[in-house]
Copies of this chain bind each other. A is one copy, B any other.
Amino acid sequence: MKNNTYKVSIIGASGYTGSELARILVNHPEVEIINITSESHKGKKFSDLHGQFSGILDLVLVSANEVDVAGLNVIFLALPHGVSMEFVKKWQDSGIKIIDLSGDFRLSTPEVYEDWYKKDHTFPEGFEQAVYGMPELHEESIRKASLVANPGCYPTASILGLAPLFQTGKVDPKGAIIDAKSGITGAGVKASNTTHFSNVNDNFKAYGIGNHRHTVEIQEQLSFLLKKSVYLQFTPHLLPVDRGILATAYMSIDGEMSQEKLDKMYQDFYRNKPFVRLRNQAPSIKEVRGSNYADIYPFWDDRTKRAIVVTAIDNLVKGAAGQAVHNMNLMLGMEESTGLNQVPMQP
């Protein structure tokens, strides 16, 4: 039924980004999943790990070492940071297009990486090739890239929410505050005290105050837009939900502003961007759940002279696997929204 023009491999089966990639790609009309890898579960079926795929995707998991890249068009790295860079290094010269969903190549330099990730980078050369894979900002570079660093989930919501304001240049480079809230899948599939049901359910808390590593990723991209160094406040919180990020951003504005001007600014910036929906009321995370949409609501508070921008995404789709497929579509020259027509699931 499929055209199956393109052949892809997913490196890393056990995490949520791996299973979300599979959920999207299995119905993508132009793609065939050739293999999925797992070191700890090789020999099992993918559907043994993820029961929801029973009868849908029963591929036997293989070791990453068994993957023959020769016949592939794209490799998705759904691995922890620190591990991913090894595979980029290994496959850099293979000519295959690589989309890395880890944090290993999102920042501008190995030095910044080492400063915020607190570990050495073993493939610093990769930074020159890597393109930051946010299609709304870097579409042309992504089309030509051989290595795409897929953005972090918080940065996706935060940058999309603030980009129009920073591009115009009329903002204080130190004035932005982003109060962000994420579902628990952002903490990964690994069982820990953080992810224990009874520590999350009916609960809510802030974490990483003042030092979360997504801060610098957001700062770098907004600096790129503003053409000045940006310093911002970023505070993540943990929601008792599976999926979804809601970022509430506050920005004092110098000079004239009104709701109409603000709306216009956002409409202009996001014209013809199929996955950004500008809303006229504050979106909820369930209105984007399971889909690749970013819903953005820019609000002008004339009493306080602040712009407040609320952005909602699904952290596993727009914030990870969906954005990765979007990048793949661009890299392979397909229509950008191919295979990304999932309707948000509410309720």
Please give the residue numbers on chain A whose beta carbons come within 8 Å of chain B beta carbons, in ascending order.
Answer: 16, 19, 22-23, 26-27, 50-56, 174, 177, 179, 181, 184-185, 189, 191-193, 195-207, 209-210, 231-233, 235, 237, 239-244, 246, 248, 250, 277, 279, 281-291, 293, 295, 299, 301, 303-304, 306, 308, 310, 312, 316, 341, 343-347
Contacts and interface: CB of A to CB of B under 8 A. Distances in A.
Contacts of A248: 179, 206, 235, 237
User: Which applies to chain A's interface (DSSP): helix, strand, loop or mixed?
Assistant: loop
Given A53-B344, A191-B196, A197-B240, 5 more contacts: A16-B347, A189-B198, A200-B201, A201-B201, A206-B310
A295 B206 contact: no
Contact of A347 (B198, B231, B301): B198
25 contacts: A52-B345, A54-B279, A54-B287, A55-B293, A56-B343, A177-B177, A184-B201, A185-B198, A189-B198, A191-B192, A195-B196, A197-B201, A200-B201, A201-B242, A202-B244, A204-B239, A204-B241, A205-B283, A205-B284, A205-B285, A206-B310, A207-B282, A231-B303, A231-B304, A290-B290
B203 A240 contact: no
A341 B52 contact: no
Contacts of A242: 197-198, 201-202, 347
Nearest to A19: B346
A204 B174 contact: no
Contacts of A16: 198, 347
B347 A250 contact: no
A52 B250 contact: no
Q: Which residue among A231, A242, A290 has the maximum number of chain B CB atoms within 10 Å of its CB?
A: A242
Contact of A23 (B19, B195, B343): B343
A284 B51 contact: yes
A52 B241 CA distance: 17
A279 B233 CA distance: 21
A51 B344 CA distance: 9
A177 B250 contact: yes
A277 B55 contact: yes
Contacts of A185: 198, 347
A250 B237 contact: no
Given A54-B287, A287-B52, A347 B205 contact: no
A286 B210 contact: no
A291 to B, nearest CB: 8
A206 B54 contact: no
Contact of A52 (B192, B198, B299, B346): B346
A231 B306 CA distance: 12
Contact of A343 (B53, B288, B295, B303): B53
B181 A237 contact: yes
A163 to B, nearest CB: 19
A223 to B, nearest CB: 15
Contacts of A196: 189, 191, 195-197
